[in-house]
Amino acid sequence: MATVKKVKFIKSAVRPQDYPPSDKPEVAVVGRSNVGKSSLINAIFKRNIAKVSSSPGKTRLINFFLLNDDIYFVDLPGYGYAAVSKAERKKWRKMIETYFHNRDNLKLVVMLVDSRHKPTNLDILMKEWLESLGIPYIVVATKADKLNQSEKAKTKKIIKETLNLPKEIPVILTSSKEGIGIKELMSKILENLKK
């Protein structure tokens, strides 16, 4: 795992002209609202730099962080949060879509699903969307500290089947709270950046 020496919040953006320069490899984190995106980013960075909120739908911008001066991590707005107006949801979708289409240095998407629930139709759509755009991705199941040993194996199987994942796409079980799977996730990210 890359040692976390330095982490910096770079900026929040909406439009491509506001993104930082695309001069470093980039990893984007995407998932439904309330799946634990900000908590996972904080667990990777070993510090509370991404804002965590108890009410979902708080990430409304694209947030760029820089790890060790050489990898961008991007926290994308969560999808599927019902309490936000339709117009707002449409705006977020457009923002994510524009980001995916305009970021040549995007090397990997870390797609989060909640380990306690079967992936939703929106998760399936996100996975299919990433594949149609040819963006490499891995699947991370969050909140795994809530599962016992037998549930963990079952959960992985349900996620793989529901999302119809190709064999080579791993499902990594993580817990931001207990640090479960963070090392494995980071080594998988670095492995993908070398490709």
pLDDT tens digits in sequence order for the chain, 195 residues long: 467 889 999 999 989 999 999 999 999 999 988 898 989 999 999 888 887 655 544 557 899 999 999 999 999 988 776 556 777 777 778 888 999 999 999 999 999 999 999 999 989 999 999 999 999 999 999 999 999 999 999 999 999 999 999 999 999 999 999 999 999 999 999 999 987
pTM of the model: 0.92
What lies within 8 Å, CB to CB, of 96 at 6+ separation is 30, 62, 76, 77, 79
Asked whether residue 1 is domain-assigned, the answer is no
DSSP annotation string for 172-195? EE-BTTTTBTHHHHHHHHHHHHT-
Asked whether residue 147 is domain-assigned, the answer is yes
What is the span of the domain harbouring residue 142? 7-193
Asked whether residue 2 is domain-assigned, the answer is no
Question: How far, in Å, CA of 170 to CA of 49, rounded?
Answer: 27
Query: Looking at the 3D structure of the chain, how many domains does it have?
Result: 1
Asked whether residue 181 is domain-assigned, the answer is yes
Q: Residues 44, 182: contact at Cβ < 8 Å?
A: yes
Structure tokens at 121: 């139709």
